[in-house]
Amino acid sequence: MATIYDVSQLAGVSLATVSRVMNKNANVSEKTRQKVLAAMAQLDYKPNTFAQSLASNCSNSVGVLVSQLDGPYYGPMMAEIEASLRAENKHVIIAVGHSNAATEMDSVEFLIGRGCDALILDVEAVSDEYLIELSQGPTPIVLINRYIAQISDRCIYLNNELGGYLATEHLLKLGHQEIAYISGPKNKHDACERLDGHMRALAEHGLAFDPQLCFEGNYKEEGGVDGMRYLFASGKPFTAVVCANDQMVSGAISVCLELGMKIPEQLSFVGYDNIPFARYISPKLTTINNPIHEMGKMAALWLLKNVFKNDIEVMSVFSPELVARESAKQLAR
Amino acid sequence: MATIYDVSQLAGVSLATVSRVMNKNANVSEKTRQKVLAAMAQLDYKPNTFAQSLASNCSNSVGVLVSQLDGPYYGPMMAEIEASLRAENKHVIIAVGHSNAATEMDSVEFLIGRGCDALILDVEAVSDEYLIELSQGPTPIVLINRYIAQISDRCIYLNNELGGYLATEHLLKLGHQEIAYISGPKNKHDACERLDGHMRALAEHGLAFDPQLCFEGNYKEEGGVDGMRYLFASGKPFTAVVCANDQMVSGAISVCLELGMKIPEQLSFVGYDNIPFARYISPKLTTINNPIHEMGKMAALWLLKNVFKNDIEVMSVFSPELVARESAKQLAR
DNA sequence: CTGTTAGCGCGTTCAA
DNA sequence: TTGAACGCGCTAACAG
């Protein structure tokens, strides 16, 4: 591997000069710059990133911590993050938190220890206080899918409460009055917020929230399956169910289909997330669009602008939107 | 940040001794080791990974290059890779190749330039020759989902031809004779191999392969949609269709359902990959299990053993297996 | 078993 | 505009 020294020898200049042409900034005469460039090309010179990092204390890397890598949710987000960062020659180091506080904190330590210049965090188990303190440390962080007032400028966030509201409101408009709810795990912020939205929609329409018509699922298909079984077993009547994410809808619908029910004729469903598969599930899912990939992109751009000082435009407003497809139907009278 | 020097001062030993206790290997008396450990703890010492990498020429990182990050396929693989590597304190840097030769090669350069100790590659567009040459370079590589005879020891591979065979054989056993095929992009190795398997199964049962009953899809839902429309338009009769992956089955089934058809009563389907969603699609997908997550894990373990010299057991045989669920049905006579 | 010393490759003063 | 020299924090001989 050619080093900066080899280049300087070949070009007949000093190390410092080579370093200068690499880092654009300083003033170098066009003539010597060309000599150096030629030498670099001839030697197929690639700077040693470790040496650069050691000397400059900047690694050009960002750590991304997500709850999980499998499942339909994080892939699109990671894809956007990778693309945006890679375009600016930064690299991304991944870590998984498994929605567990100890693991999440350990992962943060791991990534910081790895010398990441910044962190993108999608964490659920860790406390607000921890994140606030972390944000005051030397490594900049951006939070995805979480809102903490004290560090709101670092939060890339979708209004989950509004999303939950929209889901239920859609059913209400379709004439449904008895609406069941399959929630996400109550220890997850977004799950609680979505449920809050559901309850607000109910309240605004003068309907009481019936705890017996609410099941706490796990955000996975099985959660939908379990929820549906619970709801049927409850004996309570209901004409529609909203699930806190699309995976649970798919599980829920699968048990109905197995029972020979017609969906949405006999039961309406609204999901949440609008995962890519949602439109290919039968019936096509009516759901709330969750622009997770855009949020990933924005997180990356935010870092590019604020940490790496690139001159980039960053948009910043996200709103949940209803995507009406086929799984929810006007209530027959 | 405390440095190794600070620790050595506090412990009253030399830099080298501190380095020795960090890297376990060398002999250090238990007494001084304890002194050093205490000093490290007291200073909350964290080694600087850049300096370590620069001095040792080892970064404890592995680059993972995949075709895409979204979609249901790579998530489980990445999850296993991250978990296995992380357990040994290695970190993973991700890059995306987009099934494009130039991008793939660029990504390889990028990862090597980033100082990765090894690479896990899931590449499709790049040539065998390129990979063979790359494997002779200084950075060890492991290939996932691709077989190249000359470097077979570095290939983590599933027999796609056999998988394709099993899919079609299953339908044959169910009495189907007119079997359509929706293939993946012909420029992808696995797509061709799966199709080969399909053709072999047909041939072994004395059936002719009808090119008109074969459509080249794109491995996405839309590919299945397009394929199904093509097949119906062809006017040719068929009682079953095998799709080269589950996403295309889901697209294909969705058009049938839209047409009011009963699946599998009127048409049988077999997919490939056994993605997590396969069991929640309606009807539940009969498909070929593709243990991609295990392959990811094995790739990671292989590197741990052969590159990082960990003492780890690595299993190595993968076979595709049919998972019979509901989307394929005995042909009524 | 432990300390000294010389790099690893590059960024960055400070002079010239 | 350019060069010399030092330092980043750590590893790895080599000596003792």
Sorted by sequence, the CB contacts under 8 Å of residue B216 that are 6+ apart come out as B183, B184, B185, B186
C1' nearest to CA of B57: which nucleotide? C8
Size (chain A), residues? 333
Asked if the model's pLDDT at residue A113 lies above 80, the reply is: yes
Q: With residue B181 as reference, give the H or E element that holds it.
A: strand B179-183
Q: In what order do the strands lie in the sheet with A214-216?
A: A214-216, A179-183, A240-243, A268-270
Asked if the model's pLDDT at residue B89 lies above 70, the reply is: yes
C-alpha pair distances (Å), A231 with each of A182, A210, A215, A224, A254 = 9, 12, 8, 10, 14
Instruction: Average the pLDDT over each of A35-44, A154-163, B285-294, B306-315 and give the range with the smallest value.
Output: B306-315
For residue A194 the two structure tokens come to 């979505």
Burial class (CB in 10 A: 0-12, 13-18, 19+), A244: buried
Kindly determine whether the C-beta of residue A25 is less than 7 Å away from any atom of nucleic acid strand D. no
**Residue percentage of chain A with pLDDT more than 70:** 99
Segment A141-150 shows an average pLDDT of 94
Segment A162-185 shows an average pLDDT of 97
Q: What residues of A are in contact with residue B110 (Cβ under 8 Å)?
A: 86, 91
Instruction: Average the pLDDT over each of A108-112, A303-307, A311-315, B272-276 and give the range with the smallest value.
Output: A311-315
Asked if residues A239 and A267 have their Cβ atoms less than 8 Å apart, the reply is yes
Asked if the model's pLDDT at residue A122 lies above 80, the reply is: yes
Nearest 5°: phi and psi at B330? -55, 135
CB atoms within 10 A of CB A29: 9
β B240-243/B179-183 pair status:
parallel
C1' nearest to CA of B16: which nucleotide? C3
Confidence of residue B212 (pLDDT cuts 50, 70, 90): very high
C-alpha pair distances (Å), B13 with each of A178, A185, B39, B42 = 74, 52, 10, 15
Euclidean distance between CA atoms B183 and B12, whole angstroms: 69
Among A68, A82, A284, the residue with its CB nearest the CB of B96 is: A82
Among B91, B94, B115, the residue with its CB nearest the CB of A49 is: B115
Which residue matches tokens 């989902």? B145
β B141-144/B118-121 pair status:
parallel
Segment A229-248 shows an average pLDDT of 97
CB atoms within 10 A of CB B136: 9
Average pLDDT, chain B: 94
Q: In what order do the strands lie in the sheet with B268-270?
A: B214-216, B179-183, B240-243, B268-270
Q: What residues of B are in contact with residue A115 (Cβ under 8 Å)?
A: 48-50
Question: Within window 214-243 on B, which residues have Cβ closer than 7 Å to strand D?
Answer: none
> A with B: how many residue pairs have Cβ under 8 Å apart?
135
CB contact under 8 A, A91 and B93: yes
Confidence of residue B310 (pLDDT cuts 50, 70, 90): confident
Confidence of residue B203 (pLDDT cuts 50, 70, 90): very high
Among B94, B277, B282, the residue with its CB nearest the CB of A277 is: B277
Among A48, A75, A280, the residue with its CB nearest the CB of B250 is: A280
Check: pTM over 0.85? Answer yes or no. yes
Confidence of residue A73 (pLDDT cuts 50, 70, 90): confident
Gyration radius from chain B CA atoms: 25
Kindly determine whether the C-beta of residue B56 is less than 7 Å away from any atom of nucleic acid strand D. yes
User: What are B8-21's pLDDT values in tens digits?
Assistant: 999 999 999 999 99
Euclidean distance between CA atoms A34 and B239, whole angstroms: 68
C1' nearest to CA of A55: which nucleotide? D8
C1' nearest to CA of A17: which nucleotide? D2
Euclidean distance between CA atoms A287 and A279, whole angstroms: 10
**Residue percentage of chain B with pLDDT more than 70:** 99
Kindly determine whether the C-beta of residue B43 is less than 7 Å away from any atom of nucleic acid strand D. no
Euclidean distance between CA atoms A22 and A24, whole angstroms: 6
Euclidean distance between CA atoms A291 and B95, whole angstroms: 22
For residue B325 the two structure tokens come to 């669920």
User: What are A201-222's pLDDT values in tens digits?
Assistant: 999 999 999 999 999 999 999 9
Label residue B175 left, alpha or beta by phi (over 0 means left) and psi (-120 to 50 means alpha). left
Asked if the model's pLDDT at residue A93 lies above 90, the reply is: yes
Burial class (CB in 10 A: 0-12, 13-18, 19+), A305: middle
Burial class (CB in 10 A: 0-12, 13-18, 19+), B147: middle
For each of the domains in chain B, give its residue range(s) and CATH number, in order of start: 4-47 (1.10.260.40), 59-159+292-318 (3.40.50.2300), 160-290 (3.40.50.2300)
Segment A27-42 shows an average pLDDT of 91
Interface of B with A in 205-224 (CB under 8 A): 221
Q: Which nucleotides of C are covered by protein (CB under 7 A)?
A: 1-13
**Residue percentage of chain B with pLDDT more than 90:** 86
Gyration radius from chain A CA atoms: 26
Whether A261 has its CB under 8 Å from any CB of chain B: the answer is: no
Give the single-character DSSP code of B273.
B
Of B318 and A247, the one with more pLDDT: A247
Which residue matches tokens 């490594």? A139
DSSP SS3 for B118: strand
Confidence of residue B71 (pLDDT cuts 50, 70, 90): confident
Average pLDDT, chain A: 94
User: What are B117-136's pLDDT values in tens digits?
Assistant: 999 999 999 999 999 999 99
Confidence of residue B171 (pLDDT cuts 50, 70, 90): very high
Euclidean distance between CA atoms A177 and A236, whole angstroms: 13
Sorted by sequence, the CB contacts under 8 Å of residue A115 that are 6+ apart come out as A53, A59, A61, B48, B49, B50
